[in-house]
Structure 1
Amino acid sequence: MKRLFPVLFALSFTTVLLLQNLTPATAQISPSPRQEIRGVWLTNNDFDILRNRAKVQDTLTQLRRLNFNTIYPVVWNDGYTKYPSAVTQRMGIPYFFRGTEGQDVIADIISQARSQGLLAIPWFEFGFMAPLTSELASQHPDWLTQKQDGTQTSISAAGEVAWLNPFHPEVQQFITDLVVEIITKYNADGIQFDDHMSLPVDFGYDKYTINLYRQETGNPPPPNPQAQAWIKWRADKITAFMVQLNQAVKARKPNAIFAVSPNYYDFAYKLQLQDWLNWVRLGVVDELVVQVYRNDLQSFNSKLITPEILETQQLIPTGIGIMTGLRNRQVSMSQIQSQVRAAQERGLGAVFFYYESLWDYAPEPVAQRQAAFQQLFPNPARRDTSQITARKPSFNTISVPLYTKGSVGQRERGYFLEVAVAGGQPRRVLMDTGSGGLRVPREFLGNAPINRTGQIVREVLNDGTILEGELVYTSMRMGLIATEEPVPVQIVTSRQCVAQKPNCSARGNTPFSGIIGVNYAERSLPYNPLRKLPGNLSNGFIIAGDRTSGNSSLILGLTAQNRGGFNLASLTQQPAMNSIPGNRWDSRLNGVCLTISGSAMKNTCNAKMLADTGVISSFIDFKSASLMGKLKPGRLSPNNTLKLSIPRILDYSLAPGNRNGFNVWNLNVSPQLDQAMVVNSGIALFDRYNVLFDPVNGQEGFRLRS
C-alpha cells in the first residue's frame, strides 16, 4: 500500500550529502524537456478488474481515451508475487492470483497496455516489507531485522508488518532475483519502487547488522536510532544496494525505466533511511514520483518547490503522487484538479493513487469525474523509452575521505584512498601524487571481468621499491562512483629493493597496501585512473589534508567555487601518448626558490619541485655535489631552516624535523637529473597547504590552510 495519510508535521530540510564515502557537493543541472508523466497505480483493491481480461481492456481503453500514458500494476504485495514466480516457487511460497481464465494477470495487463500505447511499469509495492505471518518471514526468520527492544514489526498503512533486512546479502539476492525475473519474464517497460524500499529508522538492531556495523566501524550501533552516523551508515547501505539493483536491471534491459516513488526527501531520509536524492544524483533513478498526499493546497504546494524536486526535474521525468480517494475517504474532484494544475504549472507530472478511486469511489458521478480528467489532459502525451540509456552521475564535484592507514601493511604516514578493484571489497590504498597508475596485489581483486594483456610492467618507486606484475584492464570504484570504462591496473606479484636502496618498503616482506598514482605525467601504462571518472569528476582534484583533525579528503571535480583562493602555477605540457588519454604534464614546478640557512644557498631560484604524497620524508636531489656548497649528503639538521617559494604562489618555510613524515629533509646527489636541483616536498607540505591539480589547463595550485 502507498502511504495513505498526510504527514501532520514537517521536518526542516537538510540535504544529506554523504554516501558510502562520497560527498556530492554540487549537482550538475542540464535543462532539457521531459516527457510528462500521467499515471495511475493499479492496486490490490483493483484486483477484481485486473483478473478479468475484458475489464482490463475497458480500463486501459478508458485511460488512453483520457490521455493517460502510464500504469503501475502491483507485482509484489504482502510477501507474495502477483504473477507466477519461479523464484518464490522454489521457496515453496504459493501463488494465488490467477485471472478468471487462469491467465497470468501481469502478462495480460502488460500486453494490453502495449496495444493501447501505454507504458506498463510493474510496481514493486512492498519492497522490504512482509507480514510476520507470511511464508517468507516464517521460512527465513534470519532475514528479518528488528528494533532495539527486539520488536520485529511496525504499524504501517498496510497494517502490522515485519521488515526484511536490507543489509543482509541473502535478502538482497532475493529481491534482485524477483526484480530481474519481472524485467526478463515480461520484457517490462521498467520497475517502480516506492517508500517501502527503505527501512524505518528504529530498525537495524538484529545480530547480523550489529556485527556488520561493529566490523566496519569498530563500535556497536548507537542506542539512539536517530544518531546521525548510524542513520547515514544504514542509508548508505541501502543506496549501495539500489546501485547494484539498477545495474542488474540495466544488464537485462538497458532502456528499462528504473522508477522510484518515495516520500518527500527530509521525511524519507531521516525516518525511512531512503536517500533518494543521492540515488538520483548517482544516475540510478530514471523517473521520480514523490508522494504528496495531503488535503491542504498550501501544504501540498510547499512540497513542489523544495530544492531536491527542483534539482531532480532538471535531470529526469518527475511527477507528484496525488491521492484521488480511498473507499472510506473520498476526495473531491476540485481538490484533485487544483493539485494537478499546481504540479503542471511547475512542469511536474501526476500519478494517482489509485485506479478505483479515479471515478468509481468518488463523490461526483463517473461522467463528471472523467470529463474533469479530460480537461486536465486535453492532448495526448506519449512516452518513448527507446532513447533511455544508462544515466551518468550528475555530480560536478564530490569529496572522498582520505584515511591515515591502509588496509594492509604499516606506514608511518600517508593518505589512503578506499577503492574497489574488479568488483572486490573496498581496500585502502596509498594515494601517490608522485606516480601514475593503479597497482594492487592480486588478493584485492573481485569477480568482475578482467581483460588480461599478458604484458609484465615494472615500476620503481622513489624509495627504491621495484613493483612487477601483469597489466590488466578492469573496473575501479570509489564508494559508489565507478570509472566510465575499464582502466589499466598493474597486478603486483613481485616486490624487491634496488641495490642502492636496500631499506625500501619491500624489505622484510611487509604486505603491499596498493598504490593509486594520481600524477598526470605518466610515461607508460598504467595511467592515472582518475582520468576515467564520469563527467566533471575527471577534470582535476584537490587534496585537503588535515593531520591534526584527521579529516582529510580528496575533492574530485574542479569548479569555479572550489578553485577559489588557490594561487596557481603553470605546468609544462608533455607530448601526447596514444595509450594515455588526455593531456600529460610535467608535474615538477619550475622556478622554485630555495633557501637553506647555514649554507650559501640563498634564494636560489633554479629548482624544480614535486608535491608528493607518496614520499614520507622530503628530499632535495642535486645533479652534482658542487651545487651543494658546504652541505653534505644526508639529513638536514633543525638548524638548517629551509624555505621554498614561488613568487605569488607559495611561501613555505620550516625547521627540518627528526621524525619521518614530519619535516625530515634529506640531501642526495643524483647525476642522472635533467635539472640542477629537484625538490620533493614529501607529505609534510600537505599538512599546511591544500593542493590543487588541474590536468585540463595544466596548473597546480596552493591554498594555505588557516
Structure 2
Amino acid sequence: MLPLLCLISFVAVLLLNNLTPVIAQLPPQLRQEIRGVWLSGNDFSVFRNRSQVQAAMSQLRQLNFNTVYPVVWNDGYTQYPSAITQKMGIPFFFKGVDGQDVIADIISQARSQGLLAIPWFEFGFMIPLTSELASQHPDWLTQKQDGTQTSISAAGEVAWLNPFHPEVQKFIRELVTEVITQYDADGVQFDDHMSLPVDFGYDKYTISLYTQENGNPPPPNPQAQAWIKWRADKITAFMVDLHQTVKARKPNAIFSVSPNYYDFAYKLQLQDWLNWVRLGIVDELVMQVYRNDLESFIGQITRPEILETQQIIPTGIGIMAGLRNRPVSIQQIQSQVQAAHQRGLGIGFFYYESLWDIAPEPAAQRQSAFAALFPNSALRDISQNIPRQPTFKTISLPLYPKPSLGQRVRGNFLEVAVAGGQPKRILLDTGSAGLRVPKEFLGNAPIRKTGQNIKEVLSDGTILEGELVYANVRFGLIPTAEPVPIQVVTSRQCTAQKPKCSAKSGVPFSGIVGVNYFEKSLPYNPLRKLPGNLSNGFIVIGNGGSNSNGSLILGLTADNQAGFKMASWSQQPEINGVPGNRWDSRLSKVCLTIAGSSAKNSCNSKMIADTATINGLTEFKSATTAGKLKPGLLRSANAVKVAINGVFDYNLTPGTRDGFNRWNLSVSPQAEVPILVNTGIAFFDKYDVLFDPVNGRQGFRSRR
C-alpha cells in the first residue's frame, strides 16, 4: 500500500499546485476579493446617527474591508423612503435621528471611504402575514397544499409572496429599479429568501398556470422532480428578467446573490443559483455557511459548485460573526476566514454589530484580530464589472408537441418569452426565418417600434401582416444578447391561390419562430443573437411520433456533432440588417423517386427539412414530371424515396395520418426550382437534423 499512497500524495500535490496558475490568470474583476459585511436591521440603532455612520465606514476602511450590504427591504417594509410603497399606503419608519435618509447616508459615507455599497433585499419574497402588503394583496400570497400560508423561518412565522404572479414580479422589479435609480447604487443583492419553500405553490394562480402549461394540475407531492424544476425555472426566469432590468439602468452594477449551499437551496428552496451563475446573470456570489464546526464548514466551501463558481465570478463565503443571543468567538472566525482564504475565497460577515459590539471578547481585541485578517488593502472597482456571457457551450431546450394557442395536429413548439411577457409555446419553423407573434404575447419590457409594416406569405398561403419591432427575447431561460427584430402580427388572410389556408380555420395564431438562415428580409433568425457559443448553430431532435417532448440543442460542440453526416449549403449575398453569413439552406443534388411519376431517382432536386410543415410535399414546376399523378394526396402505391448519397436515405409509404405518413404533390409553373422537396415533420422522427451557419452545412443523424 505504501507505494500506492505515495503515488496518490504525489498526484494530489500536482493537482493542488496546478490550481494556482488558473486562479492567477483570472480577469481583473475576478481577482477583486470580497471583504464585506451585512448592515442588518439590528444595526439600524447605530446607523440612524450620522456621526456613527461616518465612524463605522471609516473604521471598516481602516480594517481593509471593501464592501457593505445595507438592508433596504425587510419585514414587509422598505428601509428607505419609497415612492412605490408610499402610493400603496405602506408606512415608512426608518428615518435617521435628524430625519435623514439612512440608506442615502450609508451609501454616501461608504463611497467617501472607497467602499462599495450594495443594497440588500433581505426578505426577497418573504413577508409577515400581518403586514400591510399581505393584507392589501391576499391574492399575491401563495400557500401549501393544505391551505397553510405561513412557514417558520429565522425571522419567525412568515408568509410568501407568489414568485410566479406577474403583479408580485412587477412590485419587486419596481423596488429594485427604484433603489438603483434613486441611489445610483453599486449593485443589488438577493439572499436565500429570493426563493420559495418547496411545500408552497398550491395557490389558485399557480395551479392554473401549471395546468395551462402542462395539461394536468401540480402533483400532490411537493418534492416531485418535474414540479420542483418547473417552479425553480420560473424563479430563474424572473431573475433573468430582473438582471436585465438592473443592467438597463446601470450596466456595471453588481448583481449579487447570497444563497445557502446549492443542494439545500435547489431542493428545499427552489433556488437554482448555480444555473443563475451559468446563465451569466450573477456578478458575485457570497454563499452563507453558518457552521460552528470547522470540518463541516470546509466541507461546504469545497463543494463542486463553489469550485466552478469561483472560476467565473468573485466568490465569497458568508461567515457568522455572532448573534445577540449566540456570540461567536474570534478564534472560530479566524479559523473559518483562514480556511476560506486558503481556497481563494472572499468573505462576507453577518452582521456589523456582532463584529465587535456584541462579542465574547473586548472590542479592541476583536478589531485587532480583524486587522490581522486583512493586513493589506483590496479596494474594488465596479468599472471592471463588464457583461458576462453564459458559461454554457451547449444547452438543450424541450420541444413541446402542442402550442399555447390553437389546435394544431402535430408540431414542435419552443417556449419563448417576448419583451418580458409570459413564456408561450411557439411553432419552431426550420423552413422560414424570423420571430412572428400576436401582440398578446408581448410583455411590459421596452419595445422599439419601427413603424414599418411588413408582410410574410407562408407556404400554406397564409399572409401575415404587422409592424416590425425590436425587443428582448428569452428562449427557455436563455435571453438574447440584445433586442431582435420581431413581426407583431395583427392581420392574417389567405392568398387567392390558396383560399383554404390556416387563416380561415378560426384557430388562433400561436406564433412562429423561424430559425432558417436563408433570410430574405427582416426579421432574421433570432438564434443569431443568442450569447456566446449558443449562437453558432443548433440541432433539432424530434419526438419519434410520441407525445413526449423532442428537444432543441443550442450551441454546436465537437461532442454533440458526433455521428452526423454533412451536406453543404450555398452562400447567399448579404442583406442589410441581417448579421452573420446568409445561406440557401435548400439542399441541392437531392435524389427523389416517387412511384408512379416520372421522378425516378431524379438527383436534380432541392430539399428543405421543415419542422413547420405537417405533411411531406413535392412541388413540380412542370406537370410533365408528375406524369400520370395528379396534384393532391399521394396514395400508398406512390412510395417516396428522398436521398443524398452517403448522407441520408429516407423512405416513406404515403398514408392517411397527419404528420406521420401523408405526402402531398403539387404542380406550380411559378415554382422557383424544377423540383422542391419538403420532407415535413415526420422526417424529424427518423433523423436528428443539425444546422451549422458558421460552416454553411446541414447534418443528418439516423435515429433508427
State whether TM-score is above 0.5. Answer: yes
Secondary structure, in 3 states, of the residue corresponding to 1:400? strand
Matches within 5 A, 1:336-485: 336-485=333-482
Secondary structure, in 3 states, of the residue corresponding to 1:300? helix
Secondary structure, in 3 states, of the residue corresponding to 1:490? strand
Paired amino acid for 1:309: I
The match for 1:210 among 207, 210, 225 is 207
Q: Which moved more, 1:597-606 or 1:224-233?
A: 597-606
Q: After superposition, give the CA deviation of every residue in 1:257-294 in whole Å (9 maximum; x if it has no partner).
A: 22111101110111112122222233332221000111
Q: Which moved more, 1:696-705 or 1:231-240?
A: 231-240
For the residues of structure 1 that align with 2:687 and 2:660, how far apart are their CA atoms? Answer: 14
Partner of 1:294: 291
Partner of 1:642: 640
Q: After superposition, give the CA deviation of every residue in 1:596-634 in whole Å (9 maximum; x if it has no partner).
A: 456675544332221112222212233434445665554
Residues 151 and 563 of structure 1, relative CA distance in 2, 3 Å threshold: same
For the residues of structure 2 that align with 1:251 and 1:305, how far apart are their CA atoms? Answer: 34
Q: Contact (CA 8 Å) 1:292, 1:322: kept in 2 or not?
A: yes
Structure 1 residue 350, shift from structure 2 partner: 0.6
Structure 1 residue 687, shift from structure 2 partner: 0.9
The match for 1:582 among 580, 583, 606 is 580
Paired amino acid for 1:261: S
Residues 459 and 205 of structure 1, relative CA distance in 2, 3 Å threshold: closer
Residues 143 and 631 of structure 1, relative CA distance in 2, 3 Å threshold: closer
In the alignment, is residue 273 of structure 1 matched against residue 270 of structure 2?
Answer: yes
The match for 1:71 among 57, 68, 73 is 68
Partner of 2:318: 321
For the residues of structure 2 that align with 1:169 and 1:602, how far apart are their CA atoms? Answer: 58
- What is the RMSD computed on CA atoms of the aligned residues? 2.7
In the alignment, is residue 58 of structure 1 matched against residue 48 of structure 2?
Answer: no
Paired amino acid for 1:641: A
Q: Which moved more, 1:109-118 or 1:614-623?
A: 614-623
For the residues of structure 2 that align with 1:287 and 1:64, how far apart are their CA atoms? Answer: 21
Paired amino acid for 1:241: F
The match for 1:501 among 498, 502, 523 is 498
Q: After superposition, give the CA deviation of every residue in 1:62-82 in whole Å (9 maximum; x if it has no partner).
A: 211111101112233333333
Structure 1 residue 392, shift from structure 2 partner: 4.2
Q: After superposition, give the CA deviation of every residue in 1:119-150 in whole Å (9 maximum; x if it has no partner).
A: 12222222222333344444444433332333
The match for 2:117 among 120, 125, 129 is 120
For the residues of structure 2 that align with 1:389 and 1:285, how far apart are their CA atoms? Answer: 12
Q: After superposition, give the CA deviation of every residue in 1:615-672 in whole Å (9 maximum; x if it has no partner).
A: 2221223343444566555443323333222222112223222333222223344445
The match for 2:153 among 146, 156, 165 is 156
Q: Contact (CA 8 Å) 1:239, 1:275: kept in 2 or not?
A: yes
In the alignment, is residue 558 of structure 1 matched against residue 556 of structure 2?
Answer: yes
For the residues of structure 1 that align with 2:506 and 2:144, how far apart are their CA atoms? Answer: 46
Structure 1 residue 211, shift from structure 2 partner: 3.7
Q: After superposition, give the CA deviation of every residue in 1:404-453 in whole Å (9 maximum; x if it has no partner).
A: 23333433322222333344443333222122222334444444444444
Matches within 5 A, 1:30-109: 31-33=26-28, 34=30, 35-109=32-106
The match for 2:590 among 579, 592, 597 is 592
Paired amino acid for 1:682: G
Partner of 1:611: 609
For the residues of structure 2 that align with 1:144 and 1:658, how far apart are their CA atoms? Answer: 50
For the residues of structure 2 that align with 1:513 and 1:154, how far apart are their CA atoms? Answer: 40
User: Where do 5+ consecutive residues of structure 1 fail to align?
Assistant: 1-29
Q: After superposition, give the CA deviation of every residue in 1:8-61 in whole Å (9 maximum; x if it has no partner).
A: xxxxxxxxxxxxxxxxxxxxxx95341110011122333332223333233222
For the residues of structure 1 that align with 2:647 and 2:199, how far apart are their CA atoms? Answer: 52
Matches within 5 A, 1:507-586: 507-546=504-543, 547-586=545-584
Q: Contact (CA 8 Å) 1:225, 1:231: kept in 2 or not?
A: yes
Secondary structure, in 3 states, of the residue corresponding to 1:612? coil
Q: Contact (CA 8 Å) 2:598, 2:625: kept in 1 or not?
A: no
Secondary structure, in 3 states, of the residue corresponding to 2:393? strand
Residues 682 and 102 of structure 1, relative CA distance in 2, 3 Å threshold: closer
Q: Contact (CA 8 Å) 1:439, 1:489: kept in 2 or not?
A: yes
Secondary structure, in 3 states, of the residue corresponding to 2:56? helix
For the residues of structure 1 that align with 2:612 and 2:137, how far apart are their CA atoms? Answer: 49
Paired amino acid for 1:387: Q
Matches within 5 A, 1:248-287: 248-287=245-284
The match for 2:170 among 166, 170, 173 is 173
Q: Which moved more, 1:173-182 or 1:67-76?
A: 173-182
Partner of 1:693: 691
Secondary structure, in 3 states, of the residue corresponding to 1:335? helix
Paired amino acid for 2:234: K
Paired amino acid for 2:27: S
Secondary structure, in 3 states, of the residue corresponding to 1:342? helix
Secondary structure, in 3 states, of the residue corresponding to 1:466? strand
Paired amino acid for 1:376: L
For the residues of structure 1 that align with 2:463 and 2:205, how far apart are their CA atoms? Answer: 42
Residues 600 and 167 of structure 1, relative CA distance in 2, 3 Å threshold: closer
Secondary structure, in 3 states, of the residue corresponding to 1:193? strand
Residues 697 and 43 of structure 1, relative CA distance in 2, 3 Å threshold: same
Partner of 2:665: 667
Q: Which moved more, 1:649-658 or 1:660-669?
A: 660-669
For the residues of structure 1 that align with 2:404 and 2:135, how far apart are their CA atoms? Answer: 39
Residues 62 and 678 of structure 1, relative CA distance in 2, 3 Å threshold: same
Residues 498 and 138 of structure 1, relative CA distance in 2, 3 Å threshold: closer
Q: Which moved more, 1:521-530 or 1:620-629?
A: 620-629
Query: What TM-score comes out, normalization by structure 2 length?
Result: 0.89
Q: Contact (CA 8 Å) 1:435, 1:517: kept in 2 or not?
A: yes
In the alignment, is residue 308 of structure 1 matched against residue 301 of structure 2?
Answer: no
The match for 1:684 among 682, 685, 692 is 682
For the residues of structure 2 that align with 1:161 and 1:449, how far apart are their CA atoms? Answer: 34
Structure 1 residue 493, shift from structure 2 partner: 4.2
Residues 49 and 490 of structure 1, relative CA distance in 2, 3 Å threshold: closer
Matches within 5 A, 1:129-140: 129-140=126-137
Secondary structure, in 3 states, of the residue corresponding to 2:371? helix
Secondary structure, in 3 states, of the residue corresponding to 2:229? helix
Q: Which moved more, 1:117-126 or 1:381-390?
A: 381-390
Structure 1 residue 697, shift from structure 2 partner: 0.7
Residues 206 and 495 of structure 1, relative CA distance in 2, 3 Å threshold: closer
Paired amino acid for 1:116: Q
Partner of 1:655: 653
Q: Contact (CA 8 Å) 1:32, 1:314: kept in 2 or not?
A: no
For the residues of structure 1 that align with 2:180 and 2:217, how far apart are their CA atoms? Answer: 39
Structure 1 residue 583, shift from structure 2 partner: 0.8
Q: Which moved more, 1:67-76 or 1:30-39?
A: 30-39
Partner of 2:11: none
Q: Which moved more, 1:183-192 or 1:680-689?
A: 183-192
For the residues of structure 2 that align with 1:103 and 1:427, how far apart are their CA atoms? Answer: 46
Identity level (%): 74
Secondary structure, in 3 states, of the residue corresponding to 2:394? strand
Greater relative CO, 1 or 2 (CA 8 Å, sep 6+): 1
Structure 1 residue 543, shift from structure 2 partner: 0.8
Paired amino acid for 1:564: A
